[in-house]
Structure 1
Amino acid sequence: MKRRDALKTMSAAAAGLYLSNIFAQGQWLGTPFQPEISGPFKPTWESLMKYQVPDWFRDAKFGMWAHWGPQCEPEAGDWYARGMYMEDSWQYKYHLEHYGHPSKVGFKDVIHSWKADRWDPDDLVGLYKKAGAKYFMAMANHHDNLDLYNSTYQKEWNSVKRGPKKDIVKGWADAARKYDLPFAVSVHAAHAWSWFETSQRADTKGPLAGVPYDGKLTAKEGKGTWWEGLDPQELYAQNHPLGENSHDNGMIHRQWNWGNGVAPPTEAYMEKFYNRTKELIDVYKPDMVYFDDTALPFWPVSDVGLRFAAYMYNKSIADHGELKAVITGKILNEDQRQAMVWDIERGQSNTIEPLPWQTDTCIGGWHYDRGIYDRKEYKTAKTVIHTLIDVVSKNGNLMLNIPVRGNGSIDEQERAVVEEIGEWMALNSKSIYGTRPWKIFGEGPQQESAGELQAQGFNEGKGEPFSYKDIRFATKGETLYATVMGWPEQGKAVIKSLAEGNAHYPKKIRRIRLVSTGQRLSFRQTPEGLIVDFPEAKGKCFYANPLEIS
């Protein structure tokens, strides 16, 4: 008899004993769960500080991300599932026009309308591989709390049961492995607890003033609806009082670290999150987990994140014989940066970091926004390449999101950007992959104008654009790469840091080649700098020109 059928014939007590035995054996209704794994890592910061970043991550340098879920279905930008419940916001007005009033048609109904009928993970991951990505990341859930995989803990509110009725994570994972790319997942759901509090509101004016939005609905109110038999609280998680100043729309940012008057999450909510995330790695076996959290999920009010990190590291050792797992987190102190990889959102460090780190950014909004497409406001390939080179020079990796439309496709403007990135990488990637930072990261006027990090990042685009006067360095073995961030005027690049008698590179320079073509270039060292003569004709993607110095 199948386990599901067996459970139906048992008393509650017998079913409980049966399930306890199943869990003890590491099995749950046919899903291959792992029991807790012993190993060198314990759920403490002190223990996790023994972590060493694996070489695959350090060498990869460039990853691509599909930050895609049901909030992309309206094609109305970031945080739609929160913004649609904020009276007078543009997303609230969009929702009224396209779906209806949030007291009658809430985010659960947006999920129901999401079909993902043009999703082809093989095509997209193949495109990203061709563009030079060395690892790929898929979103496993967002703050909207829908698991995008066959979740047995979020058993009714997942993409296999609702919306497209597809195992999104499996589709991405299969494609990544087909193209031999390490597979990563991003996990954001810890914050649904407070992030969805806007769904508890009501209009303050108009004909429906005072009528609650659908955030407090329970299963008993679903009779006669498409969601009859489902409990919206399993999705919204709003069966709790509001946090302090919840009607201040910016309060969520000040409460991101579970302080400043946030409504305390229950133990049941946090343990469910732990089990959901543990199942995710047990079944789909990602090489990397990205957390959209200050440090780790629920830190410092719970050890859930610490327990997960210890579990994933120990599991990686058990599975591979060595630690290959990567976990990223945001706003880390110096000790925490030793325990995991520091992620900077939409920003760059302004110095060489002693430990590997990652920046995550996007060519548009995190969730697909039709307005950005209509206004032609995507980042250019040039901007992306300059960011990549700058980040690599400072011991970092770049994780780039290409927004995916609700139907699962990307638009032609995005595809053109990706293809152009691929053209540059095909010519120049030897100056990126497998490199390490040099003694200095670079020179030039751009860094003098760079903005300071704010909170989890957000300093990209604050400085002046890169120009041919800006140089970025990286090394690989005995080779020094100096990338000129533009085509030099009068055809001569001047690298001041390599001037005659400089302290950084005392060796005699014998040869310089243009990486993109392999052409050997003439040069001379003077007290003012290393002067390199560029070819008369500009090559393809000439906005960043790595020189191989030996």
Structure 2
Amino acid sequence: MTFQPTHGLILACLLGVASRGGATSPIPSDLTPAIIVDTSKERVAEGKFQPSWESLHQYEIPGWFRDAKFGIWAHWGPQCQPEAGDWYGRNMYMEGNGQYSSHLNLYGHPSKSGFKDVIHEWKAEHWNPSDLVARFQRAGAQYVMTMANHHDNLDLWDSQYQPWNSVKVGPRQDIIAGWAAAARKAGIPFGVSVHAAHAWTWYESAQGADTKGPLAGIPYDGNLTKDDGKGLWWDGLDPQDLYAQNHPPSTSSGYKEGQWDWGGGVTPPDQAYCDKFYNRTMDLINRVQPDLIYFDDTALPLWPVSDAGLKIAAHYYNQNMKAHNGRLTAVMFGKVLTEDQKGAMVLDIERGAARDIQPLAWQSDTCLGDWHYNRSYFNGGMYRSATNVIRMLVDIVSKNGNLLLSVPVRGDGTIDEKEQAILDKVGQWMDVNKESIIGTRPWSVFAEEIVSDSPDEKAKSDGNLTGYRFATKGNTLYVTVFGATESIMKISALGSQSSHLDQAITAVEQLGHGPVRWQQTSAHLEITPSLPVASDAATVFKVTLRSAVSL
């Protein structure tokens, strides 16, 4: 099947309608990319993996990731500087949008002061990656993820292919190198997230102009060129290297009709754009050699416009194997995958969870608040609570998943006191109960009750979850109950006649408190909790079995 990027209507019918940040349907693997990227500057490492879906199916998820269960993500870049929330760099060019209004108040009109000027204001003056990594570890994180670039197209390392990078502008620091050094000194796996494949369409709003008011019709700064910067702070830089808008806008806006996946009237990305993305990402991988890499794309970046993603994936896996004496330890994430694509990388579900136990390890990514720092979440008390985070983690782990939790970072490089308090509470719970999370595997069922009747792939996964969740490790079954309880618990899945249990129970204890009274009937395992209970978020009981019961 050949992909024709100009045939937006055909592709929209094939893919379904795209939503913000992803599509409702996967993109098939049997499409033929229209653009073959040039590898003369960045060669694909030789090895086991070739740049094809068939070859990538040799991938096996490493055991360390299956054991880790919990990671924390610093989704941090220049869009955090205004403290006005996610997608600021796009929405500030959309007349009437709240972030457009914020930009007028903070920086002036986007025809004169655009997102490039927000980058100029971003200094990261109080950023201390070692302190943040240590705090994330105290909260129980087993790996750390940081953002390498967003749709705003600024590379946060000393990028040799993107002149707009954090060493030349903004903080004038190699942000990724700083994070990587801090993580490796702390002995924790380190990952990067890459979002820049979508700058082509994401920044199209920067080509517009106001339709009313005193500056109506005056083009926004997404139309500027290198010559316009003479004598200004950005003299010598080409805004088009940032905004990537040397092309006509797409025929519709707002990522409708499959636009996120390059259909629905999108102006097709050209060879130069695909080559540049490929080279930048290869440069990042070669410099940092991350343990994990997250792509904010359906399947792979630029698929099926080009083969860039396939070549990046093959290189990443081969390079990792060479660095680890032939053993593959790398983890690569993709979204909205077909069943065969799930064999090539780890499925990531944004702000949601699988409905049931998955045969392969997967990840849910979510955030305490808005993806980029938003002051209104702090002022309005809208962050996820520690209880919410803990229950979500337990639920996801019971289904063979990992949780990647984003903690919004302010422009100056710090997290606020409310976020600190949430992380402290999560860490206190993990100090008592982490053995029920780290290194566990799903049981024959994940819960006593049905979590969601939704036909959607995503089940509700938040602090309102109720009932029991199960996980196993060796000859231990962990039973977690959401909420404080002082009454006798009756767990039907652990009755002596239950079809889920074929081993004898020999002991039951409440983590943090020791042995508890229990008895097993044909219908239930009845547990009388110790008092006081360990947590009103989630209380864990360790059930010892005569032999292992695991998936």
TM-score relative to the length of structure 1 = 0.89
State the one-letter code of the partner of 1:542.
Answer: D
Q: Is the 8 A contact 1:351 1:441 kept in 2?
A: yes
Q: Match of 1:403, SS?
A: coil
Which is bigger in relative contact order (C-alpha 8 A, separation at least 6)? 2
Instruction: Confirm whether residue 545 of structure 1 aligns to residue 539 of structure 2.
Output: yes
* Corresponding residue of 2:419: 414
Provide Cα deviations, 1:332-360, integer angstroms capped at 9, x if missing partner.
01000010000000000010011110000
Q: Is the 8 A contact 2:44 2:315 kept in 1?
A: yes
2:344 maps to which of 339, 346, 349: 339
Q: Is the 8 A contact 1:491 1:536 kept in 2?
A: no
Provide Cα deviations, 1:126-175, integer angstroms capped at 9, x if missing partner.
00011110000010000000000000000x20000000101110111111
* Corresponding residue of 1:387: 392
State the one-letter code of the partner of 2:89.
Answer: A
1:397 maps to which of 382, 399, 402: 402
1:453 CA drift (Å): 3.7
Q: Is the 8 A contact 2:83 2:374 kept in 1?
A: yes
- What RMSD, in angstroms, separates the aligned Cα atoms of the two structures? 1.6
1:535 maps to which of 522, 530, 538: 530
Once residues 538 and 396 of structure 1 are traced to their aligned partners in structure 2, the CA distance between those partners, rounded to angstroms, is: 27
Instruction: Confirm whether residue 222 of structure 1 aligns to residue 221 of structure 2.
Output: no
Q: What pairs with 1:397-476 in structure 2 (closer than 5 Å)?
A: 397-444=402-449, 447=451, 449=452, 451-453=454-456, 460-461=461-462, 465-467=464-466, 470-476=467-473
Instruction: Confirm whether residue 60 of structure 1 aligns to residue 79 of structure 2.
Output: no
Q: Is the 8 A contact 1:453 1:459 kept in 2?
A: no
State the one-letter code of the partner of 1:494.
Answer: K
* Corresponding residue of 1:509: 505
Q: Is the 8 A contact 1:466 1:486 kept in 2?
A: no
Q: Is the 8 A contact 2:533 2:539 kept in 1?
A: no
Structure 1's unaligned 5+ residue stretches are 1-22, 27-33
Q: Match of 1:443, SS?
A: coil
State the one-letter code of the partner of 2:482.
Answer: M
Instruction: Confirm whether residue 361 of structure 1 aligns to residue 366 of structure 2.
Output: yes
Once residues 80 and 449 of structure 2 are traced to their aligned partners in structure 1, the CA distance between those partners, rounded to angstroms, is: 39
CA gap 1:417/1:195 in 2 versus in 1, 3 angstroms: same
1:443 CA drift (Å): 1.1
1:538 CA drift (Å): 2.3
Instruction: Confirm whether residue 99 of structure 1 aligns to residue 107 of structure 2.
Output: yes
1:487 CA drift (Å): 2.0
CA gap 1:127/1:450 in 2 versus in 1, 3 angstroms: farther
1:547 CA drift (Å): 1.1
1:459 CA drift (Å): 5.0
* Corresponding residue of 2:298: 294
* Corresponding residue of 1:153: 161
2:490 maps to which of 478, 487, 494: 494
Q: Is the 8 A contact 1:484 1:546 kept in 2?
A: yes
* Corresponding residue of 2:480: 483
Q: What pairs with 1:37-436 in structure 2 (closer than 5 Å)?
A: 37-154=45-162, 156-246=163-253, 249-251=254-256, 254-321=258-325, 322-436=327-441
Q: Is the 8 A contact 2:294 2:332 kept in 1?
A: yes
1:516 CA drift (Å): 2.5
1:479 CA drift (Å): 1.1
Once residues 153 and 455 of structure 2 are traced to their aligned partners in structure 1, the CA distance between those partners, rounded to angstroms, is: 32
Q: Is the 8 A contact 1:350 1:452 kept in 2?
A: no
Q: Match of 1:301, SS?
A: coil
Q: Is the 8 A contact 2:497 2:523 kept in 1?
A: no
* Corresponding residue of 2:4: none
Once residues 127 and 460 of structure 2 are traced to their aligned partners in structure 1, the CA distance between those partners, rounded to angstroms, is: 33
Once residues 453 and 206 of structure 1 are traced to their aligned partners in structure 2, the CA distance between those partners, rounded to angstroms, is: 44
1:78 CA drift (Å): 0.4
Once residues 440 and 523 of structure 2 are traced to their aligned partners in structure 1, the CA distance between those partners, rounded to angstroms, is: 27
Q: Is the 8 A contact 1:78 1:367 kept in 2?
A: yes
Q: Match of 1:392, SS?
A: helix
Q: Is the 8 A contact 1:145 1:192 kept in 2?
A: yes
* Corresponding residue of 1:14: none
Determine what percentage of the aligned residue pairs are the same residue. 54
Once residues 500 and 345 of structure 1 are traced to their aligned partners in structure 2, the CA distance between those partners, rounded to angstroms, is: 39
Paired residues, number: 505
Q: Is the 8 A contact 1:348 1:453 kept in 2?
A: no
1:282 CA drift (Å): 0.7
CA gap 1:458/1:142 in 2 versus in 1, 3 angstroms: farther
* Corresponding residue of 2:27: none
Q: Match of 1:192, SS?
A: helix
Q: Match of 1:139, SS?
A: strand
State the one-letter code of the partner of 1:366.
Answer: W
CA gap 1:465/1:450 in 2 versus in 1, 3 angstroms: farther
* Corresponding residue of 1:523: 518
Q: Give structure 1 regions of 4+ aligned residues with deviation exceeding 2 angstroms.
A: 449-454, 457-461
Q: Is the 8 A contact 1:112 1:163 kept in 2?
A: yes
State the one-letter code of the partner of 1:390.
Answer: D
Once residues 340 and 107 of structure 1 are traced to their aligned partners in structure 2, the CA distance between those partners, rounded to angstroms, is: 34
Q: Match of 1:546, SS?
A: strand
Once residues 68 and 130 of structure 2 are traced to their aligned partners in structure 1, the CA distance between those partners, rounded to angstroms, is: 20
Provide Cα deviations, 1:314-373, integer angstroms capped at 9, x if missing partner.
111111021111110101010000100000000000100111100000010000000000
CA gap 1:57/1:501 in 2 versus in 1, 3 angstroms: same
TM-score relative to the length of structure 2 = 0.89
